[in-house]
Structure 1
Amino acid sequence: MPAPRRRRYPSDTTTAEWALIEPLLPIPACRLKTGGRPEKWPRREIVDAIRYVVDNGIKWRALPADYPPWQTVYYHFWRWNRAGVVGFIRDQLRCQIRTGQGRCPWPVTLIIDSQSVKGADTVSKATRGFDAAKKINGRKRHIAVDTLGLPVMITVTPADMTDRDAARELLWRLRVMQPQITQVWADSAYAGQLVNWSDDFLKMTLKTVSRPRGAKGFVVLPRRWKVERTLGWIMKSRRNVRDYERLPQHSEAHLTWALITLMTRRLTRGGKPHTSRWDKKPRPSACP
Protein backbone atom coordinates (compact mmCIF):
# COMPACT_ATOMS: atom_id res chain seq x y z
CA MET A 1 0.00 0.00 0.00
CA PRO A 2 1.40 3.45 -0.89
CA ALA A 3 2.64 5.70 1.90
CA PRO A 4 -0.07 8.01 3.31
CA ARG A 5 -0.11 11.41 1.62
CA ARG A 6 0.31 14.65 3.53
CA ARG A 7 -2.94 16.54 3.94
CA ARG A 8 -2.44 19.97 2.43
CA TYR A 9 -5.75 21.07 0.89
CA PRO A 10 -8.64 22.83 2.68
CA SER A 11 -11.06 20.13 1.54
CA ASP A 12 -9.06 17.27 3.11
CA THR A 13 -10.62 15.45 6.05
CA THR A 14 -9.31 16.09 9.52
CA THR A 15 -8.65 13.17 11.87
CA ALA A 16 -11.92 13.90 13.66
CA GLU A 17 -13.88 14.05 10.40
CA TRP A 18 -12.42 10.75 9.21
CA ALA A 19 -13.39 9.15 12.52
CA LEU A 20 -17.00 10.01 11.62
CA ILE A 21 -16.92 8.84 8.00
CA GLU A 22 -14.80 5.68 8.20
CA PRO A 23 -17.29 3.52 10.21
CA LEU A 24 -20.06 4.41 7.74
CA LEU A 25 -18.27 3.05 4.66
CA PRO A 26 -18.87 -0.53 3.47
CA ILE A 27 -16.73 -3.32 4.85
CA PRO A 28 -13.86 -4.07 2.44
CA ALA A 29 -14.32 -7.20 0.35
CA CYS A 30 -11.14 -8.74 1.80
CA ARG A 31 -12.81 -8.81 5.22
CA LEU A 32 -15.96 -10.58 4.02
CA LYS A 33 -16.45 -14.33 3.99
CA THR A 34 -16.75 -14.25 0.20
CA GLY A 35 -13.25 -12.80 0.05
CA GLY A 36 -11.65 -10.30 -2.28
CA ARG A 37 -8.44 -8.48 -3.03
CA PRO A 38 -7.07 -5.97 -0.49
CA GLU A 39 -7.68 -2.38 -1.50
CA LYS A 40 -4.58 -0.71 -2.90
CA TRP A 41 -5.41 2.87 -1.92
CA PRO A 42 -6.45 4.08 1.56
CA ARG A 43 -10.09 5.00 1.69
CA ARG A 44 -9.34 8.29 3.39
CA GLU A 45 -7.43 9.42 0.33
CA ILE A 46 -10.33 8.39 -1.89
CA VAL A 47 -12.75 10.47 0.20
CA ASP A 48 -10.31 13.41 0.23
CA ALA A 49 -10.09 13.26 -3.57
CA ILE A 50 -13.87 13.24 -3.98
CA ARG A 51 -14.19 16.22 -1.65
CA TYR A 52 -11.46 18.03 -3.60
CA VAL A 53 -13.38 17.62 -6.87
CA VAL A 54 -16.63 18.83 -5.30
CA ASP A 55 -15.07 21.79 -3.49
CA ASN A 56 -12.87 23.04 -6.34
CA GLY A 57 -14.99 22.11 -9.36
CA ILE A 58 -12.20 20.49 -11.37
CA LYS A 59 -12.36 17.69 -13.93
CA TRP A 60 -11.75 14.18 -12.65
CA ARG A 61 -8.69 13.93 -14.89
CA ALA A 62 -7.26 17.10 -13.30
CA LEU A 63 -6.88 15.61 -9.81
CA PRO A 64 -3.53 16.56 -8.22
CA ALA A 65 -0.86 13.90 -8.54
CA ASP A 66 -0.65 13.24 -4.80
CA TYR A 67 -4.18 11.77 -4.84
CA PRO A 68 -4.94 8.22 -6.06
CA PRO A 69 -5.47 7.83 -9.84
CA TRP A 70 -8.59 9.62 -11.03
CA GLN A 71 -10.02 6.38 -12.43
CA THR A 72 -9.88 4.81 -8.96
CA VAL A 73 -11.47 7.85 -7.33
CA TYR A 74 -14.24 8.05 -9.91
CA TYR A 75 -14.94 4.31 -9.58
CA HIS A 76 -15.46 4.64 -5.82
CA PHE A 77 -17.57 7.77 -6.33
CA TRP A 78 -19.80 5.87 -8.79
CA ARG A 79 -19.93 2.62 -6.81
CA TRP A 80 -20.70 4.21 -3.42
CA ASN A 81 -23.43 6.35 -4.90
CA ARG A 82 -25.02 3.45 -6.74
CA ALA A 83 -24.94 1.27 -3.61
CA GLY A 84 -26.63 3.96 -1.48
CA VAL A 85 -23.55 4.53 0.68
CA VAL A 86 -23.55 8.30 0.09
CA GLY A 87 -27.18 8.59 1.20
CA PHE A 88 -26.46 6.40 4.24
CA ILE A 89 -23.57 8.65 5.32
CA ARG A 90 -25.79 11.72 4.87
CA ASP A 91 -28.58 10.24 7.01
CA GLN A 92 -26.27 9.07 9.79
CA LEU A 93 -24.50 12.43 10.06
CA ARG A 94 -27.83 14.23 10.12
CA CYS A 95 -29.01 11.96 12.95
CA GLN A 96 -25.86 12.72 14.95
CA ILE A 97 -26.32 16.48 14.61
CA ARG A 98 -29.99 16.25 15.59
CA THR A 99 -29.35 14.06 18.64
CA GLY A 100 -26.48 16.35 19.65
CA GLN A 101 -29.04 19.17 19.84
CA GLY A 102 -31.49 17.10 21.85
CA ARG A 103 -33.84 16.38 18.94
CA CYS A 104 -35.32 13.15 17.63
CA PRO A 105 -32.84 11.58 15.17
CA TRP A 106 -35.49 11.27 12.44
CA PRO A 107 -37.34 14.47 11.47
CA VAL A 108 -41.13 14.63 11.11
CA THR A 109 -41.30 18.11 9.50
CA LEU A 110 -39.51 19.02 6.28
CA ILE A 111 -39.12 22.02 3.97
CA ILE A 112 -38.83 21.57 0.19
CA ASP A 113 -37.73 23.86 -2.60
CA SER A 114 -36.08 23.81 -6.02
CA GLN A 115 -33.17 25.53 -7.75
CA SER A 116 -32.48 25.78 -11.48
CA VAL A 117 -28.86 25.87 -12.67
CA LYS A 118 -27.26 26.06 -16.10
CA GLY A 119 -26.09 22.84 -17.67
CA ALA A 120 -22.70 22.43 -19.33
CA ASP A 121 -22.30 20.89 -22.78
CA THR A 122 -21.67 17.53 -21.08
CA VAL A 123 -25.31 17.43 -19.93
CA SER A 124 -27.30 15.39 -22.46
CA LYS A 125 -30.33 16.80 -24.25
CA ALA A 126 -32.53 14.08 -22.76
CA THR A 127 -31.76 15.13 -19.16
CA ARG A 128 -31.90 18.93 -19.55
CA GLY A 129 -34.62 21.48 -20.23
CA PHE A 130 -35.44 25.19 -20.32
CA ASP A 131 -36.88 26.85 -17.22
CA ALA A 132 -38.97 29.64 -18.76
CA ALA A 133 -39.51 31.38 -15.42
CA LYS A 134 -35.79 31.61 -14.61
CA LYS A 135 -34.58 31.75 -18.25
CA ILE A 136 -32.16 28.89 -17.54
CA ASN A 137 -31.27 25.99 -19.83
CA GLY A 138 -30.08 23.11 -17.68
CA ARG A 139 -31.33 21.11 -14.72
CA LYS A 140 -33.39 21.67 -11.62
CA ARG A 141 -32.51 20.49 -8.13
CA HIS A 142 -35.30 19.52 -5.76
CA ILE A 143 -34.22 19.33 -2.13
CA ALA A 144 -35.95 18.38 1.11
CA VAL A 145 -34.39 19.46 4.42
CA ASP A 146 -35.33 19.23 8.07
CA THR A 147 -36.00 22.22 10.30
CA LEU A 148 -32.25 22.64 10.86
CA GLY A 149 -31.61 22.88 7.12
CA LEU A 150 -29.93 19.45 7.00
CA PRO A 151 -30.50 17.36 3.85
CA VAL A 152 -33.02 14.54 3.82
CA MET A 153 -33.41 13.93 0.08
CA ILE A 154 -32.15 15.46 -3.17
CA THR A 155 -33.37 14.76 -6.72
CA VAL A 156 -32.27 16.30 -10.02
CA THR A 157 -34.56 16.69 -13.06
CA PRO A 158 -34.58 18.63 -16.33
CA ALA A 159 -35.16 22.33 -15.67
CA ASP A 160 -38.45 22.35 -17.60
CA MET A 161 -40.14 20.03 -15.09
CA THR A 162 -42.54 21.96 -12.87
CA ASP A 163 -42.09 21.96 -9.12
CA ARG A 164 -45.45 20.28 -8.61
CA ASP A 165 -44.67 17.38 -10.96
CA ALA A 166 -41.24 16.81 -9.42
CA ALA A 167 -42.70 17.10 -5.91
CA ARG A 168 -45.03 14.17 -6.54
CA GLU A 169 -42.09 11.82 -7.00
CA LEU A 170 -40.10 13.47 -4.21
CA LEU A 171 -42.94 13.24 -1.69
CA TRP A 172 -43.67 9.64 -2.71
CA ARG A 173 -40.05 8.65 -2.14
CA LEU A 174 -40.09 10.44 1.20
CA ARG A 175 -43.20 8.56 2.28
CA VAL A 176 -41.59 5.21 1.39
CA MET A 177 -38.12 5.92 2.83
CA GLN A 178 -39.04 8.25 5.71
CA PRO A 179 -42.49 7.07 6.91
CA GLN A 180 -42.33 9.18 10.07
CA ILE A 181 -42.73 12.45 8.10
CA THR A 182 -46.09 14.09 8.72
CA GLN A 183 -45.71 17.69 7.54
CA VAL A 184 -43.95 19.48 4.67
CA TRP A 185 -43.56 23.24 4.10
CA ALA A 186 -43.14 24.72 0.61
CA ASP A 187 -43.64 27.90 -1.40
CA SER A 188 -46.72 28.82 -3.43
CA ALA A 189 -45.37 26.99 -6.52
CA TYR A 190 -46.45 23.73 -4.84
CA ALA A 191 -50.01 24.88 -4.13
CA GLY A 192 -53.09 23.49 -5.85
CA GLN A 193 -53.97 19.85 -6.43
CA LEU A 194 -50.66 18.71 -4.97
CA VAL A 195 -51.81 19.74 -1.49
CA ASN A 196 -54.94 17.55 -1.70
CA TRP A 197 -53.04 14.68 -3.35
CA SER A 198 -50.43 14.69 -0.60
CA ASP A 199 -53.05 14.74 2.14
CA ASP A 200 -55.36 12.10 0.62
CA PHE A 201 -52.87 9.73 -0.98
CA LEU A 202 -49.76 10.04 1.20
CA LYS A 203 -51.37 11.15 4.48
CA MET A 204 -48.80 13.95 4.53
CA THR A 205 -49.77 17.56 5.24
CA LEU A 206 -48.33 19.99 2.69
CA LYS A 207 -48.46 23.66 3.74
CA THR A 208 -47.39 26.61 1.59
CA VAL A 209 -45.83 29.90 2.64
CA SER A 210 -46.53 32.85 0.32
CA ARG A 211 -44.75 36.17 -0.03
CA PRO A 212 -46.42 39.10 1.73
CA ARG A 213 -48.60 41.21 -0.54
CA GLY A 214 -46.81 44.19 -1.97
CA ALA A 215 -43.36 42.88 -1.00
CA LYS A 216 -40.53 43.82 -3.34
CA GLY A 217 -37.12 42.25 -3.65
CA PHE A 218 -35.75 39.62 -1.31
CA VAL A 219 -37.95 38.80 1.70
CA VAL A 220 -37.12 36.30 4.46
CA LEU A 221 -40.12 33.99 4.73
CA PRO A 222 -40.94 31.94 7.83
CA ARG A 223 -39.69 28.33 7.69
CA ARG A 224 -38.80 28.53 3.99
CA TRP A 225 -35.62 30.50 4.64
CA LYS A 226 -33.96 27.37 6.02
CA VAL A 227 -34.08 25.52 2.71
CA GLU A 228 -32.94 28.68 0.91
CA ARG A 229 -29.93 28.75 3.24
CA THR A 230 -29.15 25.12 2.41
CA LEU A 231 -29.19 25.94 -1.30
CA GLY A 232 -26.71 28.70 -0.50
CA TRP A 233 -24.47 26.20 1.30
CA ILE A 234 -24.51 23.95 -1.77
CA MET A 235 -23.41 26.77 -4.07
CA LYS A 236 -20.25 27.34 -2.03
CA SER A 237 -18.85 24.19 -3.64
CA ARG A 238 -17.72 25.14 -7.13
CA ARG A 239 -18.70 21.83 -8.71
CA ASN A 240 -22.33 22.67 -7.89
CA VAL A 241 -22.43 26.19 -9.35
CA ARG A 242 -23.21 24.61 -12.73
CA ASP A 243 -24.29 21.08 -13.65
CA TYR A 244 -21.55 19.17 -15.51
CA GLU A 245 -22.75 15.61 -15.00
CA ARG A 246 -23.94 13.30 -17.76
CA LEU A 247 -26.19 11.46 -15.28
CA PRO A 248 -28.60 13.24 -12.88
CA GLN A 249 -27.67 10.65 -10.23
CA HIS A 250 -24.09 11.92 -10.27
CA SER A 251 -25.35 15.48 -9.84
CA GLU A 252 -27.25 14.34 -6.77
CA ALA A 253 -24.08 12.70 -5.42
CA HIS A 254 -22.02 15.89 -5.83
CA LEU A 255 -24.69 17.89 -4.01
CA THR A 256 -24.81 15.33 -1.20
CA TRP A 257 -21.02 15.21 -0.80
CA ALA A 258 -20.97 19.01 -0.39
CA LEU A 259 -23.48 18.75 2.45
CA ILE A 260 -21.67 15.76 3.98
CA THR A 261 -18.57 17.95 4.26
CA LEU A 262 -20.63 20.68 5.90
CA MET A 263 -22.05 18.24 8.46
CA THR A 264 -18.72 16.61 9.35
CA ARG A 265 -17.21 20.02 9.95
CA ARG A 266 -20.13 21.05 12.10
CA LEU A 267 -19.84 17.87 14.18
CA THR A 268 -16.08 18.27 14.65
CA ARG A 269 -16.04 22.00 15.27
CA GLY A 270 -14.73 21.43 18.78
CA GLY A 271 -12.02 19.07 17.57
CA LYS A 272 -13.68 15.77 18.53
CA PRO A 273 -16.48 13.91 16.73
CA HIS A 274 -19.84 13.87 18.48
CA THR A 275 -21.00 10.49 19.74
CA SER A 276 -24.46 9.44 20.81
CA ARG A 277 -26.34 6.31 21.74
CA TRP A 278 -27.54 5.98 18.13
CA ASP A 279 -24.01 5.67 16.75
CA LYS A 280 -23.04 2.38 15.16
CA LYS A 281 -20.07 0.37 16.34
CA PRO A 282 -17.03 1.38 14.23
CA ARG A 283 -16.03 -1.12 11.58
CA PRO A 284 -12.51 -1.53 10.18
CA SER A 285 -12.29 -0.27 6.59
CA ALA A 286 -8.73 -1.13 5.62
CA CYS A 287 -7.09 -4.49 5.02
CA PRO A 288 -3.96 -5.50 6.94
Structure 2
Amino acid sequence: MNYASDLTDQEWSIIEPLVRYPGPCRPRKHSMRVMLNAIFYLEKTGCQWRMLPIHFPPWKSVYELYYRWRLSGKWDQIHDRIRSQVRKKTGKAATPTAAIIDSRSVKTAQKGDLEATMGERKSKAASII
Protein backbone atom coordinates (compact mmCIF):
# COMPACT_ATOMS: atom_id res chain seq x y z
CA MET A 1 0.00 0.00 0.00
CA ASN A 2 1.25 3.48 -0.81
CA TYR A 3 0.98 6.50 1.47
CA ALA A 4 1.51 10.19 0.77
CA SER A 5 4.51 10.12 3.10
CA ASP A 6 6.34 7.39 1.12
CA LEU A 7 9.65 8.25 -0.49
CA THR A 8 9.50 8.81 -4.24
CA ASP A 9 12.07 7.09 -6.45
CA GLN A 10 13.92 10.40 -6.82
CA GLU A 11 13.96 10.99 -3.04
CA TRP A 12 15.13 7.43 -2.42
CA SER A 13 17.97 7.86 -4.94
CA ILE A 14 19.24 10.77 -2.83
CA ILE A 15 18.80 9.11 0.59
CA GLU A 16 19.83 5.55 -0.28
CA PRO A 17 23.60 6.21 -0.47
CA LEU A 18 23.41 7.92 2.94
CA VAL A 19 21.84 4.92 4.67
CA ARG A 20 23.79 2.13 2.99
CA TYR A 21 26.16 0.29 5.33
CA PRO A 22 29.76 0.42 4.11
CA GLY A 23 30.60 -3.23 4.37
CA PRO A 24 29.22 -6.68 4.74
CA CYS A 25 26.27 -7.03 7.06
CA ARG A 26 23.70 -9.68 7.74
CA PRO A 27 20.76 -9.88 5.35
CA ARG A 28 17.94 -7.53 6.22
CA LYS A 29 14.47 -8.76 6.94
CA HIS A 30 12.97 -5.40 5.83
CA SER A 31 14.36 -3.02 3.24
CA MET A 32 15.71 0.28 4.46
CA ARG A 33 13.31 2.12 2.17
CA VAL A 34 10.30 0.44 3.80
CA MET A 35 11.69 1.23 7.26
CA LEU A 36 12.13 4.89 6.32
CA ASN A 37 8.64 5.00 4.79
CA ALA A 38 7.30 3.76 8.13
CA ILE A 39 9.20 6.46 10.05
CA PHE A 40 8.03 9.16 7.65
CA TYR A 41 4.44 7.87 7.97
CA LEU A 42 4.68 8.23 11.76
CA GLU A 43 6.12 11.73 11.45
CA LYS A 44 3.48 12.82 8.94
CA THR A 45 0.46 11.40 10.77
CA GLY A 46 1.61 11.76 14.36
CA CYS A 47 0.24 8.32 15.21
CA GLN A 48 1.59 6.18 18.04
CA TRP A 49 4.36 3.69 17.33
CA ARG A 50 2.07 0.77 18.20
CA MET A 51 -0.56 2.07 15.77
CA LEU A 52 1.72 1.70 12.75
CA PRO A 53 -0.30 0.05 9.93
CA ILE A 54 0.36 -3.63 9.29
CA HIS A 55 1.74 -2.85 5.82
CA PHE A 56 4.92 -1.67 7.52
CA PRO A 57 7.48 -3.71 9.48
CA PRO A 58 6.76 -4.35 13.18
CA TRP A 59 6.70 -1.12 15.16
CA LYS A 60 9.50 -2.25 17.49
CA SER A 61 11.87 -2.75 14.55
CA VAL A 62 11.02 0.67 13.15
CA TYR A 63 11.38 2.31 16.56
CA GLU A 64 14.75 0.67 17.23
CA LEU A 65 16.14 1.96 13.92
CA TYR A 66 14.78 5.45 14.56
CA TYR A 67 16.13 5.53 18.12
CA ARG A 68 19.57 4.14 17.16
CA TRP A 69 19.92 6.76 14.42
CA ARG A 70 18.80 9.50 16.78
CA LEU A 71 21.45 8.56 19.35
CA SER A 72 24.21 8.13 16.77
CA GLY A 73 23.47 11.42 14.97
CA LYS A 74 22.54 9.68 11.71
CA TRP A 75 19.42 11.83 11.26
CA ASP A 76 21.55 14.97 11.62
CA GLN A 77 24.03 13.63 9.05
CA ILE A 78 21.23 12.91 6.57
CA HIS A 79 19.70 16.36 7.15
CA ASP A 80 23.02 18.16 6.76
CA ARG A 81 23.93 16.27 3.58
CA ILE A 82 20.57 16.93 1.93
CA ARG A 83 20.64 20.59 3.01
CA SER A 84 24.08 21.10 1.49
CA GLN A 85 23.00 19.41 -1.77
CA VAL A 86 19.94 21.65 -2.01
CA ARG A 87 21.99 24.78 -1.25
CA LYS A 88 24.63 23.88 -3.86
CA LYS A 89 21.93 23.22 -6.44
CA THR A 90 20.49 26.71 -5.87
CA GLY A 91 23.93 28.33 -6.16
CA LYS A 92 24.49 28.97 -2.46
CA ALA A 93 27.35 27.94 -0.18
CA ALA A 94 27.02 24.40 1.18
CA THR A 95 26.61 25.63 4.75
CA PRO A 96 24.51 28.61 5.77
CA THR A 97 26.29 31.68 7.10
CA ALA A 98 23.37 32.99 9.15
CA ALA A 99 20.40 31.62 11.06
CA ILE A 100 17.13 33.01 12.29
CA ILE A 101 15.78 31.87 15.64
CA ASP A 102 12.12 32.46 16.36
CA SER A 103 11.72 33.58 19.96
CA ARG A 104 8.40 31.76 20.20
CA SER A 105 10.05 28.40 19.57
CA VAL A 106 13.09 28.85 21.82
CA LYS A 107 12.64 28.74 25.56
CA THR A 108 14.50 31.37 27.51
CA ALA A 109 16.58 30.38 30.50
CA GLN A 110 15.50 31.48 33.92
CA LYS A 111 18.13 33.58 35.64
CA GLY A 112 18.60 31.91 38.99
CA ASP A 113 15.90 30.87 41.40
CA LEU A 114 13.28 33.08 42.98
CA GLU A 115 15.51 34.11 45.89
CA ALA A 116 18.32 35.19 43.57
CA THR A 117 16.06 37.36 41.43
CA MET A 118 14.01 39.06 44.15
CA GLY A 119 15.40 41.08 46.97
CA GLU A 120 14.26 40.35 50.48
CA ARG A 121 11.27 42.41 51.50
CA LYS A 122 11.21 44.02 54.91
CA SER A 123 8.54 46.14 56.39
CA LYS A 124 9.37 49.76 57.19
CA ALA A 125 8.84 49.04 60.87
CA ALA A 126 11.36 46.18 60.79
CA SER A 127 13.96 48.34 59.04
CA ILE A 128 13.93 50.89 61.88
CA ILE A 129 15.15 48.35 64.39
Bin for the TM-score computed over the shorter chain = 0.7 to 0.9
- Assess, with a 3 A threshold, how the Cα gap between structure 1 residues 114 and 38 changes in structure 2: closer, same or farther: farther
2:84 match: 95
Between Structure 1 and Structure 2, how many residues are aligned?
110
C-alpha distance in 2 between matches for 1:43 and 1:114: 37
Counterpart among 23, 29, 49 of residue 40 in structure 1: 29
| Residue from 10, 15, 18 that aligns with 2:4 | 10
Q: How far is the alpha carbon of 1:110 from its aligned partner?
A: 1.2
The answer to whether structure 1 residue 19 and structure 2 residue 8 are counterparts is no
Which residue identity lines up with residue 48 of structure 1 in the other structure?
N
Deviations 1:33-67 (A, max 9, x none): xxx42221100000000000010010000011010
* TM-score relative to the length of structure 1: 0.36
More helix by share: 2
Task: Output the aligned Cα RMSD.
Answer: 1.8
Q: Percent identity?
A: 39
Q: Any conservation in 2 of the 1:26–1:85 contact (CA below 8 Å)?
A: no
Question: Structure 1's 38 and 114: CA in aligned 2 closer, same or farther, altered over 3 A?
Answer: farther
- Determine the C-alpha separation between the residues in 2 that align with 1:14 and 1:98: 21
Structure 2 equivalent of residue 78 of structure 1: 67
More strand by share: 1
Residue among 44, 52, 55 paired with 2:41: 52
Kindly report which structure 2 residues correspond to 1:1-288, keeping only aligned pairs within 5 A, or say none.
6=1, 8-27=2-21, 31-32=23-24, 36-115=25-104, 141-142=105-106, 161-162=107-108, 165=109
Cα drift, residue 107 of structure 1 = 1.2
- Which whole-Å CA distance do the structure 2 matches of 1:18 and 1:27 have between them? 15
- Counterpart CA distance in 2 for 1:11 and 1:58 is 13
Structure 1 residues 61 and 25: alpha-carbon distance in aligned structure 2, compared to 1, 3 A threshold: same
Unaligned runs of 5+ in 1: 1-5, 116-140, 143-160, 167-288
After superposition, the C-alpha distances for 1:129-156 in whole angstroms (9 at most, x for unaligned) are: xxxxxxxxxxxx54xxxxxxxxxxxxxx
Which segments of structure 1 move beyond 3 Å, counting only runs of 4 or more? none
User: Aligned partners of 2:6, 2:103: CA distance in 1, in Å?
Assistant: 29
User: Which protein is bigger by CA-based radius of gyration?
Assistant: 2
Instruction: Sort the Cα spacing of 1:66 and 1:94 in 2 relative to 1 into closer, same or farther, 3 A.
Output: same
Residues 62-109 of structure 1 show CA distances to partners (whole Å, capped at 9, x for unaligned) of: 011010000000000001111111001111111111111111111111
Q: What is the rounded CA distance, in whole Å, between the counterparts of 1:106 and 1:26 in structure 2?
A: 24
Q: Which has the higher contact order (CA 8 A, sep 6+)?
A: 1
Is residue 80–residue 86 contact of structure 1 (8 Å, CA) maintained in 2? yes
Amino acid at match of 1:111: I
Structure 2: runs of 5 or more not aligned: 111-129
Letter in 2 for 1:9: Y
